[in-house]
Amino acid sequence: MEVSEGVAHILVVDDEHGILASLERIFAREGYDVSTTDSGDEAINILRQRGADVVLADVMMPKMSGIDLLRAVKAISPSIDVLMMTAFGTIEKAVECMREGAYDFISKPLKRALVVRSVQRALERRALLHENRALRAQAMSLHADDDVVVGSSNALRATLDLVAQAAPSEATILLEGESGTGKELLAQRIHALSNRALGPFVAVNCAALPEGLLESELFGHEKGAFTGAFSRHLGRFERAQGGTIVLDEIGETSSAVQVRLLRVLQEGEIERVGGGEVIRADVRVVAATHRNLKELVAAGKFREDLYYRLNVIPVVVPPLRERHGDVVILAQHFLKRFARKNNKTIEGFSELALADLDAYAWPGNVRELENTIERAVVLCRGEIIGRDDLPQAMRRQTEDPSRSHHHHSDGIFVPYGTTMGEAEMMLITQTLERCGGDKKTAARLLGIAPRTIYRRVGG
């Protein structure tokens, strides 16, 4: 039977016949064309014969697992959206499926409204993808010369390859990495490479706003929702409609905000604070954190269900000390930028200055390097940046034969703009270096418990 143009074809695969019957009823009532089967092999036959717009598949099936069926569907037609149905105990499996390209997962027992909404979102996305292909090509040419990522190390390449792979999907991405590694720049790159490149890009630092304010900043509020709410305020989610929202420092959010975020990711809906109106959220979420969310979940400070929703595609952004060879490339890149900005003619770095930069541990990562080079450009009096133009803490790696042997550093330099957390990390890292990595001695010198060091730097 040929499907008439315009009627969406939904294929449901589950070994529980009761679920097949109830979903068939639900989708028929919505006006969709429905096929049902309890076997993965039969599902593949249906797809080969007549295709489908959306596939709903159970994660745990006896003969062919949900993940095997998903791979087969994607091999037959990568553009078909697959929704995985999962019992609570198998959420990890569902997340694994999303890494393999599933569009979403729905928890059992199934709620009619949630299932219908997930299918509607998948169908809307399918329509948008067709429209967006030409627009995306145009947007990519606009971002061709972006200054997002500089370097050629293997660690950076691996991260960029994963970003390029994940960006065109609608899946939520979790950027994990230390402060100063450039997570927001990577989020911009994800947006530029996505089907939403022409939509808005909105970034929110969850740690920078007090709890009460963060809720209304993200979701908006109605007039009179609280004292001082003189007019309706559109939240960042509404301003990001059709685009990407970056939730930086997601680990710092309160449980009230976490519940609201879960609703956005699970049901695609937001409600303004003090309002009853439900607003559809057509937004791709990228979350970023320097905290270990898994540990926060274990400590009861972060919702496990939200963690699973955010951690669909985890992207670990490497610290600068692991990006071998990139320090010199980045230093020269920043030198050009800041020399231009300060109208200075500076040719480059002395060999000793480069050696110092290369040997330094960079606890503040790319941001610390950027601040260091800007300061060096401002201080530099000649055409070459020498080690005198670098902070003292960086000048102790190699002895400069042209200078008196008394010249060494017993302090560390903390550039303006360094956060308390970064400054603490710099102090710990550099004290550890002075103590040859002995954590107990370093802890004694710093007047803190050794476990504090273990917790901050691992090991």
Output the pLDDT for position 128.
72
The pLDDT score that the predictor gives to residue 132 is: 62
Locate the domains of the chain by residue range. Answer: 9-131, 159-318, 321-418, 420-459
Residue 360, Ramachandran bin (φ over 0: left; ψ between -120 and 50: alpha; else beta): beta
| DSSP secondary structure letters along 286-315 | EEEESS-HHHHHHTTSS-HHHHHHHTTEEE
What pLDDT is recorded for position 146?
A: 46
Query: Which pair of tokens denotes residue 40?
Result: 């993965």
What pLDDT, on a 0 to 100 scale, did the predictor assign at position 131?
A: 61
pLDDT at site 113: 92
Looking at residue 139, its pLDDT comes to 53
Q: At which residue do the structure tokens 């409600």 appear?
A: 271
CATH architecture for segment(s) 420-459: Orthogonal Bundle (1.10)
Task: Please report the pLDDT score of residue 410 as a whole number.
Answer: 52
CATH top class, domain 159-318: alpha beta
Same fold flag, 9-131 and 159-318: yes
Residues with pLDDT less than 50, the chain: 1-4, 134, 137, 141-147, 397, 400-409
* Angle, alpha carbons 169-66-58 (nearest 5°): 100
d(CA 193, CA 186): 11
Q: What pLDDT score was predicted for residue 437?
A: 78
Sheet holding 33-37, edge to edge: 33-37, 9-13, 54-58, 81-86, 104-107
**Tokens 């720049």, residue located:** 185
Instruction: Please spell the DSSP secondary structure of 240-270, one letter per residue.
Output: TTTSEEEEETGGG--HHHHHHHHHHHHHSEE
What pLDDT is attached to residue 249? 93
CATH architecture of 321-418: Orthogonal Bundle (1.10)
Instruction: Tell the CATH topology of 9-131.
Output: Rossmann fold (3.40.50)
- Contact present, 119 and 27 (Cβ < 8 Å): yes
